[in-house]
Each structure stands twice: as structure tokens, then as C-alpha cells.
Amino acid sequence: MTDLTGKVVIITGASRGIGAAAARAFALAGANVSLLARGRDDLTGLAGEIGEAALAIPCEVSRFWEVEAAVAATREAFGRVDVLVNSAGVIEPIVHLAEADPDRWGQTIDVNLKGVFHGMRAVLPVMLAQGGGTVLTISSGAAHGPVEAWSAYCASKAGAAMLTRSLDKEYAPAGIRAMGLSPGTVATDMQREIKASGINPVSKLEWTDHIPPEWPAQALLWMCSVDADEFKGQEISLRDEQIRRRVGLEE
């Protein structure tokens, strides 16, 4: 397991799903974890479970000033910021374009795309002053191909993938490690929303078809190690059996 003793990790969307699994994995690896999410009760419960190494910060990632304040609170509590995990994301509205409510559609962009930018923008001054850092963003196969009724999700994830590439282009020489993780379908509440929609082939998958959230959490931890340096500026897919083996998920 990657040893992150003494490191400080900020995780958005930390109250459930991949974010919560990542919080547990990073804490187990020795890191101090700053947990950001809208769900205050779930967030404080998880922080209580982890203990003194966790800081719960209710935060709406679509609002830059809240993310910036969360980064400042993290520095005050733990002294630095070494890793940012952009895990906050929403799938709704699942709707065809002609029927989409513009405000709800825009809210998905605010969370999935602007939220990623806000995280990057807030941690960059800190990481650059420290001489480096790692920014990991949860991507999706939907970033690279259209899925019926997922226009907001696909567009936002495509934009977030380009933000990862842009971050690498501009700041890799300054020690910033930027990577994306496309986990495939994961057994989280988001998949329950997809299932309930009944639209497109993804909603027809069985629950057993999805991987557990602990798998992408373990991959995120591995991506903080030098073993993943060859993927800087790129996107790693957990559908790739070779990647799974390198992460330690398959023999």
C-alpha cells in the first residue's frame, strides 16, 4: 500500500460513494484527510469514524469561495495540502435534450465541471508554493462518447477531462501531478439513480455488474505513488486489466 504518512488530502464528494471510500483508504494509508461535501450529517459521521486524522467541511463545490475557504481551513488544521481528489459529481438530469430544464442542466455543469475547476484553482497557489502536489479527478467513459439522455453529464465530464490535461500542460514543470481516473460503473447511489431512469443500456445493468467503490479508492491511492508517474496528464481506466493488476486489484 502507498504510504502517505504526514500527507494532507482534500476529497470532494466525500460523504458517500467513491469519495467516502477514498477517505477511508487515504486515512488508512496514514494521511490527514479533509472531507468536503454537501451532506453534513454523512460527512460528520464519516469524520467521526476516521478520527483525529479527518476534518469535515460542509461545502458546495459549485461556489468557489466555499472551496477556497475549505482549502484555507485545511491548511490551518494540517499545515499543507498535498493531494486533491475531485470526486464530487452528479448524474441528474437524465433527460433527452429537447426536454431538459436549462437550470437543472446548468447545475450539473456547475458541480461536475466548475466544481473541478474550483478545486484546482483553490489548491494551486498552495501546491505551487510547496513545490508540487497531486490533483486526481474522477472521470468517466462518458467523457469520451455520448450516452443517451446524459448530455449534461457527458459534456461536464468531457470538460473536466480537458481540465486535467490543461493542468498538466501548464503546471507539470512546477511539480503538479494531474491525472484522471475512469472507474467504469461503480456500485454507488448514482447507479441507483441511473437504474431508476430506465433510459439507455447502462440503466439495464445488474447491480453485480458494478465494481465496489473500494476499487477506485485503491486506484486513487496508487495514483499518488511514483509507480503512476508515467500516466501524468492522462486518464487511467479501471476497465484495463493491466491497470487493475498494477493497482493490486487482480492477480
Q: Which DSSP string do the residues of 24-58 spell out, in sequence order? A: HHHHHTT-EEEEEES-HHHHHHHHHHH-TTEEEEE
* Rounded mean pLDDT, 12-19: 92
Residue whose C-alpha cell reads 493488476 in the numeric block:
245
| Residues contacting 187, CB < 8 A, separation 6+ | 207, 210, 211, 212, 213
Q: What percent of the chain has pLDDT over 90?
A: 75
Region 220-225: mean pLDDT is 95
CA distance 120 to 114: 10
pTM equals 0.94
Among the options 62, 151, 157, 171, which is catalytic?
157
Tens digit of pLDDT for each residue in 164-174?
Answer: 999 999 999 99
Bridging pattern class, strands 83-86 and 54-58: unpaired
Q: How far is CA 167 from CA 81, 117, 160, in A?
A: 17, 10, 10
Residue 171 known to be catalytic:
no
Of the listed 15, 34, 62, 139, which one is catalytic? Answer: 139
145 CB-contact burial (10 Å; exposed 0-12 / middle 13-18 / buried 19+): exposed
Of 140, 153, 156, 237, the catalytic one is 153
**Confidence band of 152 (pLDDT split at 50, 70, 90):** very high
The full set of domain ranges for the chain reads: 8-185+212-247
Fold of 8-185+212-247: Rossmann fold (3.40.50)
pLDDT, tens digit, for every residue of 35-72? 999 988 889 999 999 999 999 999 999 999 999 999 99
Is 151 annotated in the active site? Answer: no
The pLDDT of residue 191 is above 90: no
Is 232 a residue of the active site?
Answer: no
Highest mean pLDDT among 193-197, 209-213, 233-237: 233-237
pLDDT at 66: 97
Residue 185 predicted with pLDDT over 90: no
Model confidence at 12, pLDDT cuts 50, 70, 90, reads: very high
Question: 190 falls in which pLDDT band (50, 70, 90)?
Answer: confident
Closest to 25 (Cα-Cα) out of 242, 220, 181: 220
